[in-house]
Amino acid sequence: MPSPVSSRLSAKLCGIPLRNPVLAASGTFAYGIEFESVLDLEQVGGIVVKGLSKEPMNGNPEPRVYEAEAGMINSIGLQNIGVRAFVADKLPALRRHSTPVFANVFGYEIDDYVEVVRVLNGAEGLVAYELNVSCPNTKHGGIYFSSDPALLAQLISAVKAIATRPVMVKLSPNVASIPAVAKAAEDAGADAISLVNTFISLAIDPRTRKPRLGAGFGGLSGPAIKPIALRMVHEAWRTVKIPVVGLGGIGSGTDAAEFMIAGASAVQVGTATFWDPRSPVRIARELDAFLQNEKIGSVQSLTGTLDWGKK
């Protein structure tokens, strides 16, 4: 299988060199090392590991995944082994590879995020953090970090005060205004933003009259959300000066190109890995073919070139 590494695909994110701008998204690529026997990790642009919490979490009741039209709905419940087990058991194996590793971080109080990042600060083999802000803040009555620009700013400021690596913030689409939260993230010191996370949704079994998922509501991802994700990425890019990472229904190289044209400096591939575990490498290769066919010398020159309106 030819490598998708070419000079055309070289990119940077927050000063971090990427062999290509196609990253494996958090929550769909486990901790990265589990895919070592499936594809060459050296060909992946970057790995965003499964979300890490202060303590291990068991996740939501089964069933957790339902195949919807043009996508899937999941309610995994942020199941993970906890940050300390990740540092001890997963990160040493990841360090055997040169692929940049981003640690996805979440919590239910600001102090949770700070503690996870504090533990990660002392670990080698990571290039940056990605904050998952689609969690309810239990200290503030369950309001979601992602839905309140002021609360989001408090969280980012607290993490930035102790983080020794760049901080990327993964925004939820379940908000009234993406520009407002994107600007709040930038003003609070975020080094980059990534979007979009999944859309809150519900699938029903009409015979049992029960939800298809054990937890009831779940997050919709996959091709069905791509047009909305593209719109939100473009809105964010028009609003902020920090890098934007796009995700939401990317399944091909041309999909990746569209997100970059909309304003993304890099992209993440998530749901596609469920039907094609090698999709991050395949999509990078297809993106390179697109660049070659269009006679484009550098993938970075695609970013923000949508011929409609001005930033």
Query: Which are the catalytic amino acids?
Result: 135
User: Residue 215, Cβ neighbours under 10 Å: how many?
Assistant: 16
Burial class (CB in 10 A: 0-12, 13-18, 19+), 68: middle
Task: Taking the CA atoms of 136, 139, 142 and 144 in sequence, report the sign of the dihedral they define.
Answer: negative
Instruction: Report the alpha-carbon distance of residue 256 to residue 237 in Å, rounded.
Output: 15
| CB atoms near residue 3 (< 10 Å) | 14
| Lookup: tokens for 70 | 């043009």
Q: At what angle do helices 149-160 and 178-187 cross, to 10 degrees?
A: 30
Residue 289: burial class (beta carbons within 10 Å; 0-12, 13-18, 19+):
middle
Q: Report the C-alpha gap between 112 and 102 in whole angstroms.
A: 18
And the tokens for 310? 């001005």
Residues 270/235, Cβ–Cβ less than 8 Å: no
Report whether 289 contacts 43 (CB < 8 A). no
Structural contact between residues 104 and 130, judged by C-beta atoms closer than 8 angstroms: yes
Alpha carbon distance 128, 163 (integer Å)? 9
Residue 11, both tokens: 């990119």
Closest CA to 45 of 247, 235, 274, 301: 247
CA atoms of 250 and 105, how far apart (whole Å)? 23
39 and 4 Cβ atoms separated by less than 8 Å = no
Contact assessment for residue 302 and residue 260, using Cβ atoms and an 8 Å cutoff: yes
